Amino acid sequence: MNKKDIQSEKTKATIIKAAISLFAKNGFHNTSIAQITEMCQLSKGALYWHFEDKEDLLMAVIDQVRQEWKDVLRKNLKRNWSAQKKMENILDLFVETTLENKERYVIFIVLIAEFTEVDERFERALREGFMEFFEFIAQIIDDGKSEGSIHKDINTNLMAIAFMGVWQGILLQWLLNRNEVRLESLVNCLRSMVFDGLAPSLKRERIIAKN
């Protein structure tokens, strides 16, 4: 890759980074091309050289955020770890990466609110992003069932959805109350809820038997 191509890729990355920040803060429809170029200190012509329009930029943003999260998981989770250790480390990664760059998560919540049942193309792209993570979590749960660290009566799909839903709720509550509560404290509560519910135990066996 020559210097011109390298600079072009840097410019494109700068535009995407600015768009992520502004879309997460203002939403897609309330963010203008002018705001994006102003943040990047670029001309509109430079932006349109890389992206056909704001919608094209949005697709690049969604792809970028999805790829960033997949990279985080691949780099930080070991194949030989137990299912419980993987789940615990995912929670640790949530905290670490959210505190580093909360826009990475906020943007999905904002865009889902904007595009669900409004624009099929973007809703599908967002749904695919969530499905990737859902399938990742579901596989860990199934692995835990096989190794005996997760109770076999757990419904894998429902538990994966619940795990994602509770995390999104915690993120929202932290954003609303971040001056009063630490994200780490909220995640530790989630950790207790998840692993007390997933792990097989004598007490749990008795509850199941009664039902």
Could you tell me if residue 15 is inside a domain?
Answer: no
Residues 54-81 pLDDT 10s:
999 999 999 999 898 888 888 888 878 8
Spatial neighbors of 66 by CB under 8 A, at least 6 apart, are 128, 129, 132
Separation of alpha carbons 158 and 8, rounded Å: 44
- Reported as a single tens digit per residue, the pLDDT across 171-198 is 888 888 888 888 888 888 877 777 666 6
Of 136, 140, 152, nearest to 199 by C-alpha is 152
Residue 151, pLDDT score: 85
Gap between the Cα atoms of 138 and 143, Å rounded: 9
**For residue 200, what pLDDT band results from cuts at 50, 70 and 90?**
low
188: domain CATH number? Answer: 1.10.357.10
Give the span between the Cα atoms of 45 and 133, in whole angstroms.
36
Give the three-class secondary structure for 43.
coil
Asked if residue 86 is part of any domain, the answer here is yes
Average pLDDT over residues 87-97: 86
Mean pLDDT of 18-33: 94
d(CA 211, CA 206) in angstroms, rounded, equals 9
| pLDDT-based confidence at residue 11 (cuts at 50, 70, 90) | very high
With CA atoms as reference, report the closest residue to 62 among 124, 150, 139, 149.
124
Vertex 165 angle, CA 197 and 177, to 5°? 105
Given a cut of 80, whether residue 144 has pLDDT beyond it is yes
> Is the pLDDT score of 206 beyond 70?
no
Report pLDDT for 197.
61
pLDDT for res 172: 84
Task: Return the top range by mean pLDDT from 2-6, 130-134, 179-183, 205-209.
Answer: 130-134
How many domains does the chain contain in total? Answer: 1
Whole-model pTM: value is 0.80
Angle at alpha carbon of residue 13, lines to 10 and 19, rounded to 5°: 145
Q: Domain for residue 184, yes or no?
A: yes
Q: Is residue 114 a part of any domain in this protein?
A: yes
CB 31 within 8 A of CB 58: no
Q: Is residue 127 part of a domain?
A: yes
**Does the structure show a pLDDT above 60 at 15?**
yes
Residue 157 has pLDDT above 70, yes or no: yes
CB neighbours of residue 51 within 10 Å: 20
pLDDT at 202 over 50: no
Which residues span the domain enclosing 104?
Answer: 61-210
Would residue 124 count as lying in a domain? yes
